[in-house]
């Protein structure tokens, strides 16, 4: 069956519905799974998606070919792009703010401050309600046992990483902030070791640099803690602990309040366990 390659997940879903009855029983299983679990399809592996659909991995390839794609990975990109494209570009955000007639120009600063405060309050309530306390404790234990704590965060996530480095270093723990100064990103990754912990922070659309650091850390046998915004974030696949944060936003300008608060809580929990902290800060040998 030949078909043109679709340009979006929505187009593909419509085509699947139109041609569903023409598919074999196996490919119908794939179709049902794709339509019912689009988020899982976005960042799942071929093996996990095939298992979820109850078919062999080769059926995914046949399905993709049936809809005009060269392979399943090419088709999967449509699902990934839709999930990652959750916020407009900065020019669109700027235009939205400029066209906001609900805010008087002479009171814009205080009005937006009030909106941001209200949004942050709601985000903090959600964080406290939904955060897995057991995972937070696991993160504390991993940090306390680490020979060296590596911290990675790029672009919007960099302030969170920097704050984490500042707080953790002041506890006496050995900390290495991967800041990429002078475009020297690669060399410092050689310091990653099996007795270390990587704390990585990234939110959609998920910095490629951070994903690369996580892959290097996993290859080195390093334990990995991630702070991210979605259970299907590509960061979670190789993580030992994934802490999920949904930040507040006003006109798509997202806050860092919840992430900063989570870092602060993590460090305070480490300090509270004085015995473990003292043992972790003690020089080796």
Q: Dump pLDDT digits (tens) for 32-50.
A: 888 877 877 887 788 889 9
Q: What is the pLDDT of residue 184?
A: 57
Query: Is it the case that residue 285 has pLDDT exceeding 60?
Result: no
State the residue range of the domain holding 18. Answer: 9-84
SS3 letters for 127-172?
A: HHHHCCHHHHHHHHHHHHHCCCEEEEECHHHHHHHHHHHHHHHCCC
28 and 158 share a domain? no
Query: Is it the case that residue 1 has pLDDT exceeding 50?
Result: no
159 and 216 share a domain? yes
187 and 252 share a domain? yes
Query: Is it the case that residue 174 has pLDDT exceeding 50?
Result: yes
117 and 224 share a domain? yes
Average of pLDDT values for 193-215?
90
Specify the number of domains making up the chain.
2
CATH of the domain at 58: 1.10.10.10
CATH of the domain at 165: 3.40.50.10490
Per the model's pLDDT, the better-predicted residue between 224 and 97 turns out to be 224
Q: What is the pLDDT of residue 196?
A: 95
178 and 252 share a domain? yes
Q: What is the pLDDT of residue 267?
A: 94
71 and 125 share a domain? no
Query: Is it the case that residue 169 has pLDDT exceeding 50?
Result: yes
Per the model's pLDDT, the better-predicted residue between 29 and 35 turns out to be 29
62 and 128 share a domain? no
141 and 65 share a domain? no
**Is 181 part of any domain?**
yes
Average of pLDDT values for 231-248?
86
**Two structure tokens written together for 162:** 């920097």
Per the model's pLDDT, the better-predicted residue between 92 and 120 turns out to be 120
75 and 120 share a domain? no
Q: What is the pTM of this model?
A: 0.68
69: left (phi over 0), alpha (psi -120 to 50) or beta: beta
> 278: pLDDT confidence band, cut at 50, 70 and 90?
low
Q: What is the pLDDT of residue 198?
A: 96
Q: What is the pLDDT of residue 220?
A: 93
Query: Is it the case that residue 159 has pLDDT exceeding 50?
Result: yes
62 and 133 share a domain? no
> 191: pLDDT confidence band, cut at 50, 70 and 90?
confident
Average of pLDDT values for 159-187?
85
Q: What is the pLDDT of residue 161?
A: 95
């Amino acid at each position: 069956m030949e078909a043109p390659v679709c340009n979006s997940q929505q187009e593909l879903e419509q085509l699947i519905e139109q041609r569903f009855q023409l598919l074999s029983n196996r490919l119908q299983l794939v179709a049902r799974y794709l339509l019912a679990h689009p988020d899982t399809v976005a960042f799942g592996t071929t093996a996990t998606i095939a298992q979820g659909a109850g078919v062999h991995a080769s059926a995914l390839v046949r399905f993709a070919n049936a809809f005009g794609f060269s392979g399943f990975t090419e088709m999967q990109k449509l699902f990934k792009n839709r999930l990652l494209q959750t916020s407009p570009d900065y020019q669109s955000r700027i235009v939205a703010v400029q066209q906001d007639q609900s805010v008087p120009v002479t009171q814009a600063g205080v009005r937006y401050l009030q909106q941001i405060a209200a949004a942050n309050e709601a985000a903090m309530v959600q964080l406290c309600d939904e955060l897995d306390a057991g995972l937070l404790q696991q993160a504390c234990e991993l940090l306390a046992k680490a020979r060296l704590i590596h911290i990675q965060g790029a672009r919007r996530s960099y302030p969170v990483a920097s704050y984490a480095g500042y707080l953790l270093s002041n506890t006496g723990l050995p900390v290495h902030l991967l800041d990429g100064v002078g475009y020297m990103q690669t060399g410092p990754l050689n310091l990653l070791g099996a007795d270390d912990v990587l704390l990585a922070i990234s939110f959609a659309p998920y910095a490629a640099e951070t994903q690369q650091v996580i892959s290097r850390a996993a290859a080195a046998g390093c334990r990995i803690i991630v702070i991210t915004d979605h259970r299907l974030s590509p960061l979670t696949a190789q993580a030992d602990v994934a802490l999920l944060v949904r930040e507040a936003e006003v006109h798509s300008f997202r806050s860092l309040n919840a992430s900063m608060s989570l870092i602060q809580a993590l460090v305070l929990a480490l300090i509270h366990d004085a015995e473990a902290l003292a043992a972790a800060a003690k020089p080796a040998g």
